[in-house]
Amino acid sequence: MKENIETKNVSASIDKLIAENQLESLLKKGNIKEQTYTIQEGDTISEIAFNNGLSTSEIYQLNPNLKGELINIGDKIKISKLQPMITVKTTEKLIKEEDIDYEIEYQKDGSMYNDQTKIIQQGEEGKKRVEYKVIKENGLAINKIILNEEIISEPQKKIVKVGSKIRNNGTLLLPTAGGVITSKYGPRWGGTHRGLDISGVTDRTIRAAESGKVIFAGWKGGYGYAVIIDHGEGLVTLYAHHSKLKVTTGDYVKRGQAIGIMGTTGNSTGVHLHLEVKVNGVNKNPLRYVTI
């Protein structure tokens, strides 16, 4: 136990006593009132934990029936942060077999269209045996140290051919479910607006204007959360101000695939999509490539 514990014999009225199981619960959980949260559409375990001042480990500790990231809309989970009255610290040795992820190698093929892929070699996960020292407080792991690692089998990479030819003669899909243009490409506020701003939609899903490879997905300064897709043959599109991203750098996406949710991150005056189109590194007017 981390705390200094001492016991005393005292006289007390019998109505002040609690049952053994109540004492155990008090020592383990403290006297915080239990709170629950109802799962909403789009929720993730990590987001629920962050929004309630918890770690993901604490969410799993409070809800031992949870399995991985699998949650269902309408389910209720506990979100009361435990405040145990004592802290029991343990050190354990754990030996387990783990998978080793395989790499994916993409090979461009000019004879295929950019929404076409072909698997040349299937990937295969490897295996390793790992020995850990795990330090826990009240059953919650606070530190995990690798003592030894032994490779059982090496992973085999997956090889995928990806087309680079563009369909539709370069006509791009409108990334939004309709909407209105709130700011066009060209001069604005004493400078140049390098893209097209679209807002006024109920469905805020942002979709890829064309198939291609995601070459950036993350925070990008004034763009906020942004996605950049390379479609091949010098054509690149940029989608800015997302509230949430649905792709990661390195992903290959198909025309019309959801890549994020419209938001107002970065330098933004309201919820909208900022769309840019570049050809060979030069910004172009998106209205030459998409139709509102």
The sheet carrying 117-121 orders its strands as 104-113, 158-165, 117-121
Sort 184 into a burial class: Cβ within 10 Å, 0-12 / 13-18 / 19+. middle
Q: Which domains, from first to last, does the chain contain?
A: 16-78 (3.10.350.10), 89-165 (2.20.230.10), 168-288 (2.70.70.10)
Q: Give the per-residue pLDDT at 169.
A: 53
Q: Give the per-residue pLDDT at 167.
A: 60
Q: Give the per-residue pLDDT at 132.
A: 94
Q: What is the pLDDT along the chain (292 residues), one digit of tens a residue?
A: 888 888 899 998 988 888 888 888 778 777 666 788 999 887 888 888 888 878 888 888 888 888 777 788 889 998 887 677 888 899 999 999 999 999 999 888 888 877 688 999 999 999 999 999 999 887 777 889 999 999 999 999 999 998 877 665 558 999 999 888 888 898 887 788 989 999 989 899 999 999 999 999 999 999 999 999 998 888 999 999 999 999 999 999 999 999 999 999 998 888 999 999 998 899 999 988 887 7
Q: Give the per-residue pLDDT at 94.
A: 93
Q: Give the per-residue pLDDT at 259.
A: 97
Helix (H, G, I), strand (E, B) or coil at 250: coil
Q: Which long-range contacts (CB under 8 A, 24 or more apart) does 284-287 make?
A: 285/185, 285/186, 285/196, 286/172, 286/185, 286/195, 286/196, 287/184, 287/185, 287/196
Q: What is this structure's pTM?
A: 0.54
